[in-house]
Structure 1
Amino acid sequence: MAARKDIDGSESVAAFYGKELRWKREEARLTLQQVVEGSYYGVSYLSEIERGRRRMPSDLACHVDHVLRTDGFFARRCEDVRRARKSVHAPYFADVVEMETHARDIEEWSPMLIPGPLQLEPYIRAVVLAANPLDGEEAVGQKVAARRERAWVFEDVEGPVSSVVLDESILRRPLVADEVMAEQLAHVAAVARRRRFIPQILPWNAGAHPFMMGTTWLMDFGDAPPVMYTEGMYSGQIIDDPGIVMRYQKAYSSLRAAALPPKVSLEMIEAAAEDYGNGNHARRLERSRMA
């Protein structure tokens, strides 16, 4: 039998926390399966927490404290682990970045912007500076790099199965110069054509629909309950209440039903990219102003 690799608790707060969790579990002579029994989480989830690779949700921490009889130790310390994690991402989004690395399926509604992992550098810069006009070049560069690092979500063949509904206005309202917008939309279409990313466009005249609100993500996992994430300009919220998440899942199904089919949507994205590239978009705008 191969020797078990020890955990170096000095690497990070999360590693220290995970090492303590393993020590307490083994002291109680319990297996990973025995500890997670009665919770919503799987063995692999707890194993990654022990190795410092995943955060401990508060409900699981309370469950572990109960099973291991640790008098609330893990529930008290899980927030310390969360605060210790350093990230260029906004604090409310850091947990989402971690969750997406473990997600099996991601469903997203994007009413205003191309989803972050699909954005190219010029588009990212425009979005970052619009929200944070006083950011210096170093801060902007860090945010651009961090967002591009997430490109794997849609581009990696081993990534989650992704479904994204985009509002048609995203195609019609350029945030960057037309030739750059053409490149950005062509990139979205190219990614969609070569892997499991499924785009749908909600047409401008679709009428009332369930998601007349900000960006929304639904993430499903093989070893943990599904979660929903919604985001505004300077804030975000993770919702893990099963009843509420189920309502959002049903609403997303209704949204997809109102959107155009994937094949038609992809052709619309490609046509918009071509329009920006050959100047037709600008000419249409000029005609509409003169009308």
Structure 2
Amino acid sequence: MPGPKDLDPSSSPRALLGAELRHAREKAGLSQGELGGRLFVSGSYIGQLEAGTRRMQPEYARLLDEVLGVDFFLRNCRAAAKSEYPEHFAEAAEAEARATAIREYAPLLIPGLLQTPGYARAVFRAYRPTAPEEEIDKLVAARIERAHLLHGPTELLLWAVIDEAALRRVTGGPGIMAEALRHIVGITEAHQAIVQVLPFSAGAHAAMEGAMKLMDFEAAPPLVFFEGVGTGRLEDAPSVVRLQRLTYEHLVASALSPQNSLALLTEMAQDYAHEEHP
């Protein structure tokens, strides 16, 4: 019987890799938990690999080949690892594309799915002050492409809590900020996202230590993504996910209502537009 074929990078390598993993695991008579135990990872991690929500790392691909008695995963995991996103964010972006619900707290900048090209360009130029313009163009294009999730055929719940600090920081100039806030207003009024503003008046709150992104999936356990300067990590431990979900609920309770948030965003957009054209 012929062995499994190499993955075609032009298709969906991660989905095919996950399907092959499920087939090989079931053929070996192992549950997700049993296979995870042999790799010293959780059963939910194996489930996420099979669902295509997690990227298969080479060290795990090698162990899977050994445990399952195949010569497939290490050869093909590199095809599934190709991404247009920065390395620290690539796995989260690909998981995001498969999510059914995303709940995000953004303390310092407008969430990527809600950014305009002008705002994204200002952010990336600040990150990479000496990068060639072509590199910035690619990063901006990839970020704006992500926003197509809001207009796709599947219903995605995007619920963002944005700190007032992110809205007050003039990124790219008043004109760019006016456009960025009007864009959020438009998305909110089109019922493509729920947006709440966490005002300065809320004082101390449950997520003062940083940003978070919770992602739920139809056929895989939830994930939470933590991001820092040039780094990021996905967590699937149930205790971590539960804590971050509770934290997010506290933020929602402390934030302005969606209606009052919309009013504030509209007012701030007008103020920025006035600064641009006094």
Superposition TM-score, scaled by structure 1 size: 0.76
SS in 1 for 2:201: coil
How do 1:13-162 and structure 2 match up within 5 A? Answer: 14=14, 17=17, 21=21, 24=24, 28=27, 39-40=43-44, 46=50, 55-56=55-56, 70=68, 77=74, 81=77, 85-156=81-152, 158-162=154-158
- Answering whether residue 184 of structure 2 is matched by residue 188 of structure 1, we say yes
Per-residue deviation at 1:17?
Answer: 4.4
The one-letter amino acid of 1:138's match is E
Aligned counterpart in structure 1 of residue 165 of structure 2, from 169, 174, 189? 169
Aligned length: 263
How do 1:250-265 and structure 2 match up within 5 A? Answer: 250-265=246-261
Per-residue deviation at 1:29?
Answer: 9.0
| Cα displacement string for residues 229-255 of structure 1 (whole angstroms, at most 9, x for unaligned residues) | 111121111111111110111111011
Change (3 A) 1:43 1:85: closer
CA distance in 2 between counterparts of 1:204 and 1:16 reads 47
The one-letter amino acid of 2:101's match is D
CA distance in 2 between counterparts of 1:167 and 1:22 reads 41
The one-letter amino acid of 1:70's match is L
Change (3 A) 1:36 1:119: same
Aligned counterpart in structure 2 of residue 239 of structure 1, from 235, 240, 245? 235
- Answering whether residue 203 of structure 2 is matched by residue 207 of structure 1, we say yes
CA distance in 1 between counterparts of 2:263 and 2:236 reads 35
1:219: which partner in 2? 215
State whether residues 9 and 16 of structure 1, in contact with CA within 8 Å, keep that contact through their aligned partners in structure 2: no
In structure 2, list runs of 5 or more residues that go unmatched: 35-42
- Answering whether residue 6 of structure 2 is matched by residue 9 of structure 1, we say yes
Per-residue deviation at 1:61?
Answer: 7.7
CA distance in 2 between counterparts of 1:16 and 1:264 reads 45
2:37: which partner in 1? none
Per-residue deviation at 1:153?
Answer: 3.1
State whether residues 101 and 158 of structure 2, in contact with CA within 8 Å, keep that contact through their aligned partners in structure 1: yes
Superposition TM-score, scaled by structure 2 size: 0.79
State whether residues 41 and 224 of structure 1, in contact with CA within 8 Å, keep that contact through their aligned partners in structure 2: no
1:288: which partner in 2? none
| Cα displacement string for residues 167-219 of structure 1 (whole angstroms, at most 9, x for unaligned residues) | 11222221122222211110111011112410011111211111012221011
In structure 1, list runs of 5 or more residues that go unmatched: 1-6, 284-291
| Cα displacement string for residues 108-159 of structure 1 (whole angstroms, at most 9, x for unaligned residues) | 0001111112111211111111111111011101101110110123344634
SS in 2 for 1:109: strand
CA RMSD of aligned residues (A): 3.6
Greater C-alpha Rg:
1
